[in-house]
Amino acid sequence: MDTTATIKKQKGIENFFHTMFLIFGLFSIAFVLFITIFLVISGVPAITKIGFFKFIFGTKWASTASNPSFGILPFILTSVYGTCGALLVSVPVGIFCAAYLAKMAPGPVAAVVREAVDLLAGIPSVVYGLFGMIIIVPGVRKLFNLPDGANLFSATVVLAIMVLPSIISESETALRAVPKEYEEGSLALGATYTETIFKVTLPAARSGVLTSVILGTGRAIGEAMAVMMVAGNVANMPGIFRSVRFLTTAVASEMSYSSGLQRQALFSIALVLFFFIILINVVLRKLTSKGEVK
Amino acid sequence: MTSVIETKDLNLWYGKHHALMDINIDIPEKQITALIGPSGCGKSTFLRTLNRMNDLIEDVKIDGKVLLKGEDINSMDVNVLRSRVGMVFQKANPFPMSVYDNIAYGPRILGIHKKKELDKIVETSLKQAAIWDECKGRLRTSALGMSGGQQQRLCIARTLAVKPEVLLLDESTSALDPVSTSKIEDLLLELKKKYTIIMVTHNMQQAARIADKTAFFLLGELIEYDDTEKIFSHPSDRRTEDYITGRFG
């Protein structure tokens, strides 16, 4: 009698926690759904009012003019160029650094560099922005002899530094996971260590390295604060030394004083940004699942 | 009989551990030499000294000489040495690429890029390793989909593709079933017509079956080295006899 009572009680506790876990689990799903619905509801009206093509492919953004114009192509292109430019630098640098850490660096050196990389990943983006404002913007101005250093180039440099840690640490994990037997096999055939890394280790770690690149892309395209501090924030079509606005900064810089259609259009920009993030996630999912199947 | 590999007072330390002691051995050309002995006796270490794979391990100190056809291997370019002295490992380790690319890997490293030439090397290597018939239809598919025995023969083919003079096998059949093992043994008997083979094995029957010469290692020393027949019938050292009759090890 006594034991059955205990078992019953335990079952009750078990069920209670089960339900709790379920509820908390559902929370995260609820938030995703909620945000998606919110973005669609608040983002679609402006797009329909302005016209899809006019909105996406319009080259002029003048939201506060007496005859306003809402074309976000400058923001889209700026985000794409800025992200690609950042990746152009940080992908090779990051992969080389990861290969060095995973395969060549002596233990203590690797430990120090790894610590630094982790720290770099944890630095808040506003600090990157400050660093950009104080060092990179004046540096770019002097180096290229420009009237102002706050431009796409500076923003790209800051983004490149920001995405570096995620590329390095993800790639390093992937490279470390490559079995030593592969490398020994290559070395035993007379390949040099460098040949081995390029021809065996990196191809074997391909899916993990690609994942790191995609994660970096996500971080770059979603970054607002640091970019806002160094890009100059003028709604120009992008040019390397032009003052520009990214999708993120377009929303952030006008939201506080916006109203009416302008405000709605900002939500639409957020929706476009959301679409980019989803796209990146889909690609990521595709790549990682391919890696698992082998 | 000409010797291909000769060692002179070879000593090796892992840190403070003296793993090989004064090894002097002459390994004859186009014969199979088996290295036997209990775990930790230094036979694998010795094998890995011959193509300088021990260079990869930190804190290794090597003393004495290893001569490949009279030439000191330490004064040779290590990559050239490794293409002349090929190695097959305990665990089959095909690269995660197609069968074709696995075989073509070594030749490509050596600078061969013409498709015709590579095609020919791939075919001859696979034929030499007696695996051509099993994989000629799937050259472009991943090598990882093959069975363990096939993978190991593929690794042998991959090693042959760089045209080595010596073939080192480090317990290369220990992870295989008896059928795959006997296929590889037959293959080795065929290959010794062209190559010098040195194999580490835990399987004494295997040594007795296919080796011409057998070397018995114990605690870092070369106890006895002689014709296989002699080692297994009238060993001169008591310890060899104890080991091959299963009294220890």
State the smallest CA–CA distance between residue B87 and chain A in angstroms: 6
Q: How far is CA B196 from CA A54, A92, B150, B163, in A?
A: 76, 44, 22, 12
Phi-psi region of A206 (alpha: psi -120 to 50; beta: other; left: phi over 0): alpha
Domains and CATH numbers, chain B: 3-244 (3.40.50.300)
Q: Is A77 on the interface with B (CB under 8 A)?
A: no
Question: Could you tell me the residue ranges of all domains in chain A?
Answer: 2-57, 73-293
Residue A284: predicted pLDDT: 83
- Domain A73-293 listed as CATH 3.40.50.720: no
Give A191's contacts in chain B (Cβ within 8 Å). 79, 105-106, 109
Give the residue carrying structure tokens 């900002």: A266
pLDDT at A24 over 70: yes
Question: What are A167-214's pLDDT values in tens digits?
Answer: 999 999 999 999 999 999 999 999 999 999 999 999 999 989 999 999
Mutating which of B50, B85, B95 best tests the A interface, going by the most A Cβ atoms within 10 A? B95
Give the tens place of pLDDT for each residue, B186-209. 999 999 999 999 999 988 899 999
In this prediction, residue A293 has a pLDDT band, given cuts at 50, 70 and 90, of very low
Residue located via tokens 């390295």: A209
Q: How many CB pairs under 8 A join A and B?
A: 64
Has the ipTM of the complex gone over 0.95? no
Average model confidence (pLDDT) for chain A? 91
Question: What pLDDT digit, counting tens, does each position of A83-120 carry?
Answer: 999 999 999 999 999 999 998 888 899 999 999 999 99
Interchain contact A104–B (C-beta under 8 A): no
Model confidence, pTM: 0.81
Residue of A179, A189, A203 lying closest to B83 (CB–CB): A189
In Å, what is the CA distance from A78 to each residue of A65, A97, B41? 22, 28, 65
Nearest-neighbour CA in chain B from A174: distance (Å): 14
Is A291 part of the contact surface with chain B (CB cutoff 8 Å)?
no
Cβ-based contacts of B110 with chain A (< 8 Å): 190
Closest CA to A280 of A205, A207, A219, A206: A219
Q: Do A186 and B105 touch (CB under 8 A)?
A: yes
